[in-house]
Amino acid sequence: MTYVLSDDVGRIDRDAVWRLLSTEAYWGRWRSRDDVERQVDGAWRVVGAYVEATGELVGFARAVSDAVAFAYLADVIVDPAHRGAGLGRRIVATMIDEGPGADFRWTLFTGDAHGLYREYGFAEPDETAMVRPGRQG
């Protein structure tokens, strides 16, 4: 199967994003549909992965940024039926290496994909980093 990636926010199928994040994302199931809509609307950049033949959205990521030097990668997800085809890697590469944030300092939180993100230069925080946990997770 052939996939295309795009950072066109107007192309994002919000129903598909909601379905993926509300059923497949262990990290944010507490969010409401309105929360997800606001996050997509407020994103600095989004990347969607689409089945070329049908246009179906099967992968997604968003980022928030100061648009100068720092960005936070969030909600990287691939539909289970399309996993194993390298889409997660392509989404991450498109977001952090193939766009306006290629020279930024990037951060993220993950509970299970450390190996994937290490391939793109992510590492455990050093002595310059501190985190204040959120109240909702």
- Which pTM value belongs to this model? 0.93
pLDDT in tens, 47-66: 999 999 999 999 999 999 99
Q: Regarding beta strands 57-65 and 70-78, do their DSSP bridges make them parallel or antiparallel, or are they unpaired?
A: antiparallel
pLDDT in tens, 24-44: 999 988 899 999 999 999 999
Burial of 27 (0-12, 13-18, 19+ CB in 10 A): middle
CA angle, 118 then 47 then 103, to 5°: 55
CB 61 within 8 A of CB 91: yes
Interatomic CA distance for residues 49 and 71, integer angstroms: 20
pLDDT in tens, 1-24: 899 999 999 999 999 999 999 999
Burial of 23 (0-12, 13-18, 19+ CB in 10 A): exposed
Range 71-97 burial, b when 16+ CB lie within 10 A, else e: bbbbbbbbbeebeebebbebbbbbbbe
